[in-house]
Each structure stands twice: as C-alpha cells, then as structure tokens.
Chain A
C-alpha cells in the first residue's frame, strides 16, 4: 500500500513566546511598521479553512516579476494583519482583483506615485463581517476595514518585495497605503449598488479595486442643487495637480447623495455632468507645465489632449522644445479628466451628518489602471 509523502515543513521560525514572535516579525522585516499577529500554524490553518482555496492555489500572479502568491501565503499575511478567518474570502477576492491583467499591479505597487489599493465591498457580506460604510469609513475603528485592507499591503510588502526604497519607490506615499477598504452604503445610494451597475446581482458580494492617490475632501454644506453641488466635485477633479487621462472614484457622503436622489439625477447623468465639467484648457495645462515634450510622442496622450478640441487634432504637433508654449486657440481646447463618463466610478459612504465627500484620482499622470470587480466566494 503506497504511503503518502509527509508534507514538507512550511518555512518558518521558532520563537519563545508571542511577544518574541512580534519582535521576530519586526526583525525579519515582515511588518508595515505596526505590530502584527504572529502567524502560527494553527491560526493560518483556520484562516485557510475559511476560504474555498487549497493552500497552493495561486490567488495573485504578478507577471512583471513573475511572483505567484498562494492562498497559504495570503492566509499568513491575513493572520498577521489581524483578520478574522471570516474575512479571508474578501482578502482572496481582492488579491484576485488586483492580479487581474487590466489592473497592471506592477505600476501602482512600485511607482513614485505612491498609490493605495482601494477596496470597495458590496453585497450581503458587508453586514455579516461588520464592514463599515458609515461614519469615519476611511478612518480607524472597524476591524474588518482595517485588517482586510492591511492584508493586501502586507502581501505587497512580503510577497512582492514592495518595500519602501527597495521596490516601492513612492515619493511620499500616503496613509491609505496601510489600509483602504470600506463598504458601500448601498442604502444611502440614489442608485443601484455599485456592483449591480457593474453586472453583478444584488445578492452577490463583491470587491471593486482601484489604485488611488490620496483622497480630496469635497466640502459642500450650502446647497442642495445638483449642479451647484457637482460644480465643487468637477472643480476638484480638474485640479492641475492631478489632472490626467486617468480614472476617478467619487465617494458621495449620504447628505450629498440625498441631494442627487431627491433631484432625480441618475448615475449616468451624474457621470456625464462631471465628465463634461471636469476640464482645464490646454493653455492652463501648458501654463502649469503639465504638457511634457514626451506627451507628443504618445498617440494616446495626443488623442486625450485634443479629443474635445474645436478644430480637432492639429495637423502639425509642436516639436520637443515647443511643447509648453501656449498657442493661439489653446484657451478653447478643453482637456477633460479621463476619457469619458464611464471613467468616473460613483459610490456612496460616510456618516449621515456632514457635507464631506471624497474624490480619489488615479495614481499616475498617464491612463493608469482600470476598475476591477470580482465576486467574493460564498
């Protein structure tokens, strides 16, 4: 009768006690700067058992450096992040989402831009796990929000070597890189839940991921008029500092969402209005030094600059030394944020009190990455 090979021992270290384990994780460079829960075999096995994956199933493959993150490695990092086992299906789905080829993880994981991995959770799992969609949803206080988002960062640090100064070259980074996971406040949304708008059923649970620069607070307490209100959002979106052909996430506070609901504004109308109004003139871009000589060598960026130009794309493009010179007609060329209304993802979250919403730009000066939505396994 054949005997099964005993499983190879899993890589690890022996430590005297839990306190020594916490320090050992620091000493080995396995943390994000905060203490971690020591990943004992018992805890890791419980984490793995809560998901549908086998230990060696690959949840995330990063093709540029050919790194494969297995369910077991994901579970170790989820334990360290402080996740309860019940959170593991969300962590696994989020890893699958950031591993989607359209997300092109290598850029947001390593670039000077310093993107955070935003995870928006929809569906029934939000309540089961106690994911916060309300007061302070981007801030501290919810174990599920904090630890699910942190799991992704620990996977990047530990499995993809995205350590500051090594592979993570973020010029500044931002606090969302520790963790940026929240639930959509579906009940406060004027529209169908985000995941339903992206082709899933209301009864499914999903993650939607985005590589986000730091959020901008869009403050408006003085109006319920949709066009006045959205003017503040379009203005934030058109800021020269972050203007790009990239995508946008808007998280409407319930108060702002209520104004849109009562006025009967649909999701497509809101997206269209924001796209139409979030622009700067080509002259403004040039005055801000935002039109780099290299842009004219990129057909995609030239298309972006001139897609809404009254005279269309010029027959002759400026030479490298002329890229930033304001020309006749540049004041009338509108350069929009993104390539169309579908580049603006609208979601809802926050406390019931307060006119504070958020605009999150994409991470790069180029087109950057897509939104990716994946189902969370039951």
Chain B
C-alpha cells in the first residue's frame, strides 16, 4: 500500500473549526444587513431579495454596505458594524 497526502484544506478537522451561526427563529422586527460585493448590480439584486422578504416577514430596518472592490475583503469596520447592528446579513454577487 502507498499513502498519498491530501492537497486540499477540506479535512474534517478544518471544516469542523468553522461552525455555522445559529439560525433565527423569526425575522419579525429584525434589522437585515445587505453586503453587496461591489459589482454593478449586487445591491440591485439584494434590494429585490429584501422586497421578497417583506412579503413574507415583518422585517425591520435594512442596513446596506457595498464593498468598493469585489476582489477585496469587507473592511473590519463594516464587518463589525453589520455584526453589531444586524440580526441577519445577506451577501450577494451581482454583475
């Protein structure tokens, strides 16, 4: 037998290290964050999703953040602001 090594970062240990956040039981009154990736139509897509959400849930305020560059990570300041203000955040790419 020959042992060959895994070239990926997808080991069970690595995947277990990132836990999913708990799901919200309800969106009633929840502040929703929108994080667009900075492409031309990202926020347009997210705004449509908010329209659909309003049809089904009594969501509260909407906080919008658009990255200035789709290739760059969201800034620490924006990430912190979204984490503090929002009950849930939706992110999307829209080109």
Contact = CB atoms under 8 A, between A and B. Distances in A.
A76 interface: yes
Contact of A21 (B2, B11, B69): B2
Interface stretch (B24-32, B55-63, B70-78): B70-78
B19 interface: no
15 contacts: A11-B11, A12-B5, A14-B2, A15-B3, A30-B7, A38-B2, A39-B5, A64-B73, A73-B7, A73-B8, A76-B7, A106-B72, A107-B71, A111-B71, A292-B40
Interface in A149-182: 154, 158-159, 161
B45 to A, nearest CB: 14
Interface string A177-195: 0000000000000000000
Interface of B: 1-11, 40, 69-73, 95
Nearest to B70: A107
Given A112-B95, A292-B40, A11 B72 contact: no
A207 B8 CA distance: 24
A14 B8 contact: no
B5 A10 contact: yes
A14 B7 contact: no
A80 B7 contact: yes
A10 B73 CA distance: 30
B95 A11 contact: no
Given A67-B9, A292-B40, A294-B40, A13 B3 contact: yes
Contacts of A260: none
A289 interface: no
B21 to A, nearest CB: 15
Given A104-B69, A107-B71, A294-B40, A12 B3 contact: yes
Interface in A315-353: none
**Which bracket fits the contact residues of A?**
35 or more
B1 A16 contact: yes
B4 A39 contact: yes
A159 B9 contact: yes
- Tell me whether chain B's interface is mostly helix, strand or loop, or mixed: loop
A35 interface: no
Interface in A229-257: none
Contacts of A40: 2-5
Given A67-B9, A73-B9, A38 B71 contact: no
A17 B7 CA distance: 18
A268 interface: no
A376 interface: no
A11 B12 CA distance: 9
Contacts of B7: 30, 39, 73, 76-77, 80, 154, 158-159
A13 B72 CA distance: 35
Nearest to B40: A294
A120 interface: no
A16 B4 CA distance: 10
Contacts of A159: 7-9
A12 B2 CA distance: 10
A158 B95 contact: no
Contacts of B6: 10-13, 76
Contacts of A73: 7-9
B2 A17 contact: yes
Contacts of A76: 5-7
Given A14-B1, A40-B2, A41-B3, A64 B11 contact: no
Interface in A41-88: 41, 44, 63-64, 67-69, 73, 76-77, 80
